[in-house]
Amino acid sequence: TTNAKAILELEEVTVSFDGFKALDGLNFRMAYGELRFVIGPNGAGKTTLLDVLTGKTRPQRGTVLFDGRVNVTRTPEHELVRQGIARKFQTPTIFPSLTVYENLEAAAGFREGVVGLMGRLDPERQERIEEVLELVALRPRAAVRAGVLAHGEKQWLEMAMLLVQEPKLLLLDEPVAGMTRAERNRTGELLQAIASRCSVLVVEHDMEFVRNFASRVTVLHLGRLLTEGPVAQVQADPRVIEVYIGR
Ligand code: ADP
């Protein structure tokens, strides 16, 4: 995959907070269509990485190139969203009194800047919503009020609300936190399905989940890339074992 075109390419990215380097010359690359897991002990720089990718935090040094052309560190946050970088936070931002379908209509409208009847009658938008409902397997729940969904279903709806906006890169921060085992497994399958249409970067603490669903894993430690590779290889790496156990 090292020759494949990159959706994301970071070179020597450094982020300092009062002289403390949360990212310390980070090099990171991700190909199109990848489902990439980023792990690492607390303080490794995972959240800072997500903040850099969304334009929330500006590095003091280094370059971040998205989709082969967008200079992330010089682009406003809202423009990065428009260019196709979507981030899901842990707390859902769904509209509880609207149905699942109406939530997706609203989300599709955000992107287009069109709300109300005009957008609702747009067949292209309806098709997009139907596709995403299918992808996240929420079609049987389409007419249900979002507020009564189970925790896992709310998380999937939130992902679906980002997907109808057709991002090129989806950033997820601990997507299985608080989920039951069944919900975690469904989420893993879901992420693999999503990766067929957009690249997905997942920051995750749940190692069992990573083992079950990750192919390629990146390990951050002290703001740097410690190692990277197939999950079995990374897990057996003595350096990885040391940073997780030797704390
Ligand atoms: P992770 O998500 O891997 O746990 P973070 O990216 O949140 O790591 O944090 C990396 C390091 O940077 C931590 O030591 C944290 O305390 C520090 N840090 C993160 N954000 C800030 C900030 N806004 N101000 C000061 N220090 C910060």
Per-residue pLDDT reduced to its tens digit, 40-51: 999 999 999 999
The 224-230 sheet, strands edge to edge: 85-88, 169-173, 199-203, 35-39, 216-221, 224-230
* Least confident residue range of 24-38, 104-118, 175-189: 104-118
The CA radius of gyration of the chain, in Å to the nearest whole number, is 18
Atom of ligand 1 nearest to the CA of 40: 3
Residue 133 pLDDT > 60, yes or no? Answer: yes
pLDDT band at 166 (very low <50, low <70, confident <90, very high): very high
Average pLDDT of the segment spanning 16-32: 96
- Residue 28 pLDDT > 60: yes
Q: Which atom of ligand 1 is nearest to the CA of 18?
A: 25
At 1 the pLDDT is 46
pLDDT mean across residues, the chain:
92
Whether the pLDDT of residue 75 is over 80: the answer is: yes
CA-nearest residue for atom 14, ligand 1, is 43
Q: Give the neighbor-by-neighbor strand order of the sheet with 6-17.
A: 20-31, 6-17, 61-66, 70-71
Q: Evaluate: CB of 22 within 6 angstroms of ligand 1.
A: yes
pLDDT of 113 reads 59
How far apart are the C-alpha atoms of 62 and 78, rounded to whole Å? 21
41 lines ligand 1 (CB under 6 A): no
State residue 24's pLDDT score. 98
57-61, 64-68, 99-103, 116-120: segment of lowest average pLDDT: 116-120
ipTM over 0.90: yes
Instruction: Of 84-93, 187-196, 211-220, give the lowest mean pLDDT range.
Output: 84-93
